[in-house]
Structures are given as structure tokens and as C-alpha cells.
Amino acid sequence: MVDSQSQTLGAHGGDPSTRRDFLVIASSALAGIGAACAVWPLIVSMNPARDTLAAGAPIDIDISSVQPGQQIVVLWRSRPIFIVHRTSDELKKLQDSADLSLLRDANSDVLQQPDYAKNWHRSVKPELLVLVGICTHLGCIPNFVPAPGGGLGPAWPGGYFCPCHGSRYDLAGRVFTGVPAPFNLPVPPHRFVSDTVVRIGENPPDSNFDFGSIEQI
């Protein structure tokens, strides 16, 4: 006699149906694991591919022709990198406490730079500034405005001005208060392979800094 009504799972107690319950649970569990394992490679496939990661390898930039006061822009990992040869005047201004009070994060407390750039000049060597040139507000590329005063007002010490929504940064990439950008411009991993060549994307030998750990690009 076949009674389809009673074919609900686990309706009866006793040996046959508990064995069936076990098999049903086991097969559901295994099937679930299998489905997850099948979906996972698809999701992972969307992560950067090997060649994309390889293209993000460190690049060497010859800075011998960058004059004091001059900025060059290079691309690393498809992002603009500002490289500035700061003058001694500009370096003095950086340490000026009057200007420091205008900054949101003068001491670089927020993790936007490697450990070796957590200093008053936010770089390895004071005269060479290396920044990721992407405004921490919504991602535009700020303009380089190193000259004090001028159109940005008498209190302007020199630095960066973002044309999209008016965010301002000083010549160490530190963000001013009263502007929409929340964080200092990031400092990428970099080191000097020689006096005239800086390698962007690689830490000095004594540091293991992971650029992925910064607060915001």
C-alpha cells in the first residue's frame, strides 16, 4: 500500500526514518558545502588577476631632474603619484606651529602613511615628498599650488587645492580643517634605491608596511 501522505520527512520515529534523516541531513550538508565550494572560485575570479597584480609591481623613478619646488606625476597601480622636491623654505613652513593648528591631523595619527613616513615631513627624506594624488573626499586629483598666498588667500601656506569640492592639503599632504576631505593624502610605500632613484611601491628593508591597511586611498 502506498500512502503518499505519510512520505513527509522525519514523520515517524524509529530506526528506518532516523537513518533516512541522517542521510538527508548528511546529503544536504555535503551538497551545501559542494555548492559553496563551487561558487567560491567564481567570486575569487573577480579579484585582480596575476598579470594585473604583476603590473602593480614597484616602479623606479629617476628624480635627478626634478628641480627644487617642482612636482612630477607618475602612475603606479593606475593611480597618480605626486613626487615633489621641496625647498628648504617649504620644509621650514611645514614645522610652523601656526600652520599646524589649521590641520585636521597634523601628527598623521590616522593610518594614511607607512610607519617610516609618520614624521613631520611625511616621507623618507625630507626634501622628497611622495603622495598618492587622489583627494580623500571623492577621488579627484588635487592641483599643485605650492606658492603661498595668491588666489587662495593670505593664509595659504602652499600645498594642494582640489578643484572638485575645495579640499585643501599642505605641502606634506595633510588635510586642512573646514574642508570636505576627511583624511591626509596617502603616502605610498617608497624607498631610495640610490640617491637619484626612488622606487614607488616598495618599503625600505626594515619595514613590512602593507599599503592595503591604510584608512582610505
Partner 1 sequence: MRPILSRLALAGIALIAAGAAHAQSEAIPPLPAVKWSFDGPFGTFDRAALQRGFQVYSQVCSNCHSMNLLAYGDLAGPGALGYTEEQVKAIAAEKQVNDVDDNGQPAQRPARPSDHFVAPFANEKAARAANNGALPPDLSVIIKAREGGADYVHAILTGFREAPADFPMADGMNYNLYFPGHQIAMPPPLQDDSVAYADGTKATLDQEARDVATFLTWASEPTMEERKRTGVKVILFLLALTGVLYGAKRRIWASLH
Partner 2 sequence: MARPQNKLVRWIDHRLPVFTFLEHELNEYPTPKNLNYWWNFGSLAGIVLIIMIVTGIFLAMQYTPHVDYAFNSVERIMRDVNYGWLMRYIHMNGASFFFIITYIHIFRGLYYGSYKAPRELLWILGVVILLLMMATAFMGYVLPWGQMSFWGATVITNLFSAFPGIGNDIVTWLWGGFAVGNPTLNRFFSLHYLLPFVIVAVVGLHLVALHQHGSNNPLGIDRKGPQDSIPFHPYYTYKDMFGLSVFLVVFALIVFFWPNALSDPQNYIPANPMQTPPEIVPEWYFLPFYAILRSIPSKLFGVCAMFGSILVLFIVPWLDTSKVRSAYFRPIYKWVFWLLVIDAFVLGWVGAHRPEGWFVVIGRIGTLYYYAHFLILMPFIGWFERPLPLPPSISEAVLKKRGPVPHAGAAE
DSSP string, 193-215: SSSSEEEET---TT----GGGSS
64-68 long-range contacts, Cβ below 8 Å, gap at least 24? 64/196, 68/127
User: CB–CB of 63/197 below 8 Å?
Assistant: yes
In the block, which residue shows the cell 515517524?
Answer: 12
Q: For the segment 2-21, give every residue that binds partner 2 (CB under 8 A).
A: 2, 4, 7, 9
Report which DSSP code applies to 53. H
Name which of residues 36 to 95 contact partner 2 (CB under 8 A).
Answer: 41-42, 44-47, 49-52
Q: Which of residues 56-95 bind partner 1 (CB under 8 A)?
A: 57
Contacts of 101 (CB under 8 A, 6+ apart): none
CB of 19 to partner 2, least distance (A): 14
Q: Among the candidate windows 13-21, 109-117, 130-138, 152-160, which touches partner 1 by CB under 8 A?
A: 13-21
46 binds, among partner 1, partner 2, none (CB under 5 to 8 A by kind): partner 2
Q: Which residues bind partner 2 (CB under 8 A)?
A: 2, 4, 7, 9, 27, 31, 41-42, 44-47, 49-52
Residues that bind partner 1 (CB under 8 A): 2, 6-7, 16, 19-20, 23-24, 26-27, 30-31, 33-34, 37, 50-51, 54-55, 57
